[in-house]
Amino acid sequence: MGRAPCCDKNNVKRGPWSPEEDAKLKAYIDHFGTGGNWIALPQKIGLKRCGKSCRLRWLNYLRPNIKHGGFSEEEDNIICNLYISIGSRWSVIAAQLPGRTDNDIKNYWNTRLKKKLLGRRKQSSINRISSTNPDADGVEDSSSSQALSNAALERLQLHMQLQSLQNPNSFYNNHVLWPKLHPFQEKMVLQSLKESFSPLMQYAFPSPQQGDEQKVVMYGQLVDSDTRQQGHPKFSNSSVVGLENSLNGITSSDSYIPFTSGDHAMDLTIVSRAGVVEPADAAAQPVPNFQSELENFLNSKTSGFTSQEDKIGEFGCFKEMNRYGEGMNWWSNDFEIKASSNSWDSASVLKSEGMFHDYELGYNM
DNA sequence: AAATGATACAACCGCATGCCG
DNA sequence: TCGGCATGCGGTTGTATCATT
């Protein structure tokens, strides 16, 4: 038993609206308003249209102060920023862009903005492959594809974790606010938030083979113990030295590492780690189809995150963020122990520079 | 000039949600 | 509290227009 139709489809006109229909609808609403009942409205004014169709036409086209086309660079930035932050919640995004409708933004994203970004990503991937393999014909091989996903998952997870740590009431900590997720997305997000050492990370890095030198890569945040509530760590070279010294006693089960920097007590909270594989587990393989699932997810969800270079290159619009005070610096990959600048928060909830510092720690066991 | 493909955008569909009796 | 209904929302489809061959 299906859902009852909202109107008699045989007796309503469908397809593009004529100027006469537009005029009728606009004149009525200008005069009387919608009356709070879209279903009854078309009958009142003699339109052979479904109430939903009238509502959509009014909201997306006839309503005053509607802007069509001609998205500015600043609007592009806002859309990109919000999309990556909250996903395809077009109505929320539209609320930030006066005069724009959710439908308009959705169409703009799907037809132009996404392609613009994806196009750059594809091209940069091709360039990278070509530069490393002169024989490559532009088709990504499995290793480069995996590398792409690895970086993507890493940044996605770190972004989520950082957001949740920055703001306990953030979107990522409030499941009620979550958009409808692809089961795979949901699985990934839930695991990321539930587990301090997300098992997903084991898929995000190449599995060491038996006999390989074991390397632990951990991702963490440094927080000043004394001001944990406010979280205003100050870092200097001595901080990093202190951290390095603290690493000498680290074990694979540590979840956070206390160390001192001058007269400051600091904690390194490990938010994830990867690459720890006991010899007996060396043959363990990622779950079947994980790679393709991730690829699909990333391709549909965002334009994908590749290397730092790509990030900057592909998201050209993001480079402009700084002009609007929306810094977007991603985690650097090219260090063993290195402090990077703060993350970005698309909602501009937290902009305090240096509030959190992320560390990637790589060391041999 | 015609055929074909690509693109942009308006409109539709159906599920989720909130309101109200 | 529950069920019915209207509305909101996001994904998808249809179609007009433009570009390319």
A118 C-beta less than 7 Å away from strand C: no
Domain around A194: 175-307+327-364
Burial A25-50 (b: 16+ CB within 10 A, else e): bbebbeeeeeeeebeebbeeeebebb
CA A287 vs CA A13, A291, A296: distances in Å: 50, 8, 15
Q: How far is the CA of A252 from the C1' of C10 (A)?
A: 44
Please check whether residue A315 lies inside any domain of the structure.
no
- A181 shares a domain with A55: no
Identify the pLDDT of residue A128: 45
- Partners of A23 in the β-ladder: none
Å from the A225 CA to the C6 C1': 53
Whether residue A115 lies inside any domain: the answer is no
Q: What is the mean pLDDT of residues A245-274?
A: 41
Residue A241 lies in a domain: yes
Distance in Å from B14's C1' to A89's CA comes to 17
Give the CA-to-C1' distance from A6 to B21 in angstroms.
20
Task: Count the neighbouring beta carbons within 10 Å of the beta carbon of residue A198.
Answer: 23
In a domain, A183, yes or no: yes
pLDDT of residue A83: 83
- A347 and A209 in one domain? yes
The confidence band for A119, taking pLDDT boundaries of 50, 70 and 90, is low
Provide the mean pLDDT of chain A.
51
Question: What nucleotide is nearest A52 when CA is compared to C1'?
Answer: C7
Tell me: do A196 and A337 sit in the same domain. Answer: yes
Number of compact structural domains in chain A: 2
- List protein-proximal bases of chain C (any atom < 7 A from a CB): 5-12, 14-16
Q: Nearest Cα to A294, choosing from A282, A310, A305?
A: A305
More confident residue, A360 or A182: A182
- Nearest-angstrom CA–CA distance, A302 and A300: 6
What pLDDT shows up at residue A264?
A: 42
| 3-class DSSP assignment, residue A131 | helix
